[in-house]
Amino acid sequence: MSTASKGRLRIQKLTMELRHDRNTKLIIFRNDRRDTPHLTLSWNNPSKVIDVHLKRRGAGGSEIHREIGIVQERALLRLLGTFKDKLRDSVLVELSRAAKINPGRLGRWGYAVFYLDEDEKREFIDKIAPLRKHGKRERMLDPEGLVDWANSAEVRNNIHHPSALHYIAAAGRDDVIMAGRVRGNHRPKLLPLGLFSAPDGRPIWIAMDRLSKKMLSLSDTFTLSCLQQLLPNDAWDIVFNELHLAEVELFAD
């Protein structure tokens, strides 16, 4: 049975897709243009090198692959180690700046929290994205199911006063909880909350909005600067020109 999986991240005019199957592929393409190729990097290959290709669609739906470079996997591992250090330092700095959230204060500010336990999560997923046979069994989002769920009494049953955060912390749940403003004008309207331990072991809730933005900013900047460092100069010039990266804000002067 295949264990293939993939995930996507959209960054301004670029989309990055990571696929895991027999090997690992990172595919980067413009999401605002159809006349540019897809950049593909493939690793975890028997050769222990990273193959770098540009892929275009040819006549009759055929694919045209153009190899533009080969990179040793150990070079990527060195850069990933650098990124790990940068991410750790950034997270520690942002956590030191993050606001400790008091449930009572959240209530006074006009917030409510949305919470699903594990059973409710499974029921929610089954309703809005049921498993269907589509070549293989996979979940397909049902927009009507999502609308029906959004208008149901179940949603109201899962919206709680922020005091519920005390019970969630006591239960040891460590997933991010969303708080939403239901009255007043306090910003932001949506506030992700993470559960952490204080130095004395007490559970504390931390506002995650600034941290999540910092992590996304660091990851997208790193991914593209990583490519620039990994690829030979001529290969990077080809990628920059073929994908018209001068149009992307990350590369604007």
Long-range Cβ contacts of 42-48 (<8 Å, 24+ apart): 43/73, 43/76, 48/72, 48/73
Cβ 31 vs Cβ 17: under 8 Å: no
Q: What is the pLDDT of residue 212?
A: 53
Looking at residue 36, what is its pLDDT? 93
Residue ranges in the chain assigned as alpha helix (H): 73-97, 103-108, 118-128, 143-150, 153-157, 164-170, 209-230, 233-242
117-158 pLDDT, tens digit per residue, is 777 777 777 777 777 665 556 666 666 766 676 677 777 778
Mean pLDDT of the chain: 76
Residue 205 pLDDT level (bands cut at 50, 70, 90): confident
pLDDT of residue 123: 78
List pLDDT tens digits, range 36-62. Answer: 999 998 888 788 888 889 998 877 777
d(CA 4, CA 44): 14
73-97 and 209-230 are packed helices; what angle lies between their axes, rounded to 10 degrees?
Answer: 160
Averaged over 25-36, what is the pLDDT?
89
